[in-house]
């Protein structure tokens, strides 16, 4: 009986210890994810430098577009501001973009061009952390891509080789071969996969990330968007164009403005931080927002998302006399620092008999009232305003009602 009690007590102590260790492991907070940023601008304006200076405290490394292939598969080199990169004090990952539409390439020539670019950046004071290849190819090209990466890796002499990866590759058996040639990768979970569904789907992105983590034991990061795009279709319903940098106000029947909403990205980021997939070490933001980038969040909004700060603010709607006698301009204003979602509806008082919407808004009328209705989601930058329509009212002091 004494032996039985002793063994039972020992067993209970073992179970208690294991349970305690499990509780400690579960209660231990996950390691904070690091943040990198893509600098994708070809022209290094003062706005790019200002954005770097304003965000450097939150960024681990810059991923700088350094070259891109032309139609013949030769690298066209860009000229980032090396003085600004050096002044930031951050490591730099050079990014080479290989056009995903290239049916084939001269591997020897491409390797020579890439090696020449790599050597050109060596020997200076900038900390070059490695090289990243951005090649959005179809799955049929993955074997050739893996062969190129295997030949490229030794040329870096121990520096990190990274690639961007597409969710479309997840079902290809060749993905494992590609990942075996690199040190880390960046999974892109934002894309115009189905333009009618939007630019970013948090549930789908999390599913992709979990699947990707099971394909390789290599470290990886997730690319998240800070931007919007205008997508248009031709008469047959085929994708005709994607514009991500030029600003266009009015939307036609064959086009749509797609935007990654800060609240959606912030929620996804919090979920990743609470329960990160295996081997996930950080986020890479596409792209560095600048004051000149009409389709990206402003810097304050981006940093608030990174820091997981509240995204609170308010948009007001006012009516002011316009240049056309007898009419009022309907104006949205955002007095705060952060970008805010455009309101769905701005209701007009009964004193307004005529009205119409512009700049992404349209007239909606009922038996008693007129309203200006948003055609699609969007943001109003902090400290900015937008005219969304006009109205003809019996009184000049028309009071507008905003419905978020």
254-288 confidence digits (pLDDT tens):
667 788 999 999 999 999 999 999 999 999 999 99
pLDDT at 367: 78
The reply to whether the predicted model has a pTM over 0.85 is yes
Euclidean distance between CA atoms 13 and 3, whole angstroms: 15
Q: Of 142, 207, 195, 199, whose CA–CA distance to 169 is shortest?
A: 142
Q: For residue 145, report the phi and psi dihedrals to the nearest 5 degrees.
A: -65, -45
Dihedral, CA atoms, 98, 102, 105, 110, nearest 10 degrees? Answer: -10
pLDDT at 366: 84
**Domain limits, the chain:** 30-306, 316-403
Say whether 199 sits in a helix, a strand or coil.
coil
pLDDT at 10: 42
Residue 382, CA atoms < 13 Å, CB-side half-sphere: 16
Cβ atoms of 170 and 212 closer than 8 Å: yes
Protein fold of 30-306:
TIM Barrel (3.20.20)
pLDDT at 190: 86
- Residue 307, CA distances (Å) to 27, 37, 284, 299 in order: 22, 14, 14, 12
Q: If you classify domain 316-403 with CATH, what class do you get?
A: mainly beta
Kindly give the parts of the chain with pLDDT less than 70.
Answer: 1-30, 191-197, 230-255
Q: Tell me the two tokens of residue 341.
A: 């979602």
Euclidean distance between CA atoms 319 and 296, whole angstroms: 28
């Amino acid at each position: 009986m004494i032996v039985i009690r002793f063994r039972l007590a020992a067993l209970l102590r073992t179970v208690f210890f294991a349970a305690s260790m499990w509780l400690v492991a579960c209660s231990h907070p996950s390691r904070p994810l690091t943040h990198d940023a893509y600098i994708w601008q070809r022209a290094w304006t003062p706005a790019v430098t200002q954005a770097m200076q304003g965000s450097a405290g939150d960024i681990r490394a810059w991923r700088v577009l350094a070259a891109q292939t032309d139609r013949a598969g030769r690298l066209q080199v860009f000229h980032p501001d090396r003085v600004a990169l050096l002044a930031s004090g951050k490591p730099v990952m050079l990014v080479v973009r290989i056009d995903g539409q290239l049916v084939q390439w001269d591997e020897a020539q491409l390797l020579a061009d890439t090696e020449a670019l790599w050597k050109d950046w060596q020997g200076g004071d900038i900390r070059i952390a490695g090289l990243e290849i951005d090649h959005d190819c179809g799955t049929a090209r993955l074997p050739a891509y893996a062969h190129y990466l295997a030949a490229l890796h030794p040329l870096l002499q121990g520096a990190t080789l990274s690639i961007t990866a597409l969710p479309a590759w997840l079902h290809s058996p060749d993905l494992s071969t590609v990942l075996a040639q690199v040190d880390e990768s960046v999974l892109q979970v934002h894309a115009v996969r189905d333009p009618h569904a939007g630019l970013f789907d948090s549930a789908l992105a999390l599913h992709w990330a979990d699947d990707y983590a099971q394909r390789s034991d290599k470290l990886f990061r997730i690319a998240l968007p800070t931007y919007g795009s205008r997508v248009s279709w031709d008469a047959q319903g085929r994708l005709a164009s994607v514009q991500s940098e030029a600003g266009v106000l009015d939307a036609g029947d064959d086009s749509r403005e797609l935007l990654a909403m800060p609240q959606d990205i912030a929620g996804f980021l919090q979920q990743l931080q609470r329960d990160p997939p295996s081997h996930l070490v950080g986020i890479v933001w596409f792209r560095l927002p600048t004051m000149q980038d009409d389709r990206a969040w402003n810097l304050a909004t981006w940093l608030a998302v990174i820091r997981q700060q509240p995204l609170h603010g308010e948009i007001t709607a006012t009516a002011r006399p316009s240049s056309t006698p007898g009419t009022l301009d309907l104006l949205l204003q955002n007095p705060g620092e952060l970008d805010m979602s455009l309101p769905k509806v701005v209701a007009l008082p009964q004193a307004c008999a005529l009205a119409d919407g512009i700049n992404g808004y349209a007239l909606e009328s009922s038996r008693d009232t007129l309203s200006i209705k948003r055609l699609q989601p969007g943001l109003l930058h902090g400290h900015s305003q937008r005219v969304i329509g006009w109205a003809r009212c019996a009184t000049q002091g028309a009071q507008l009602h905003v419905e978020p």
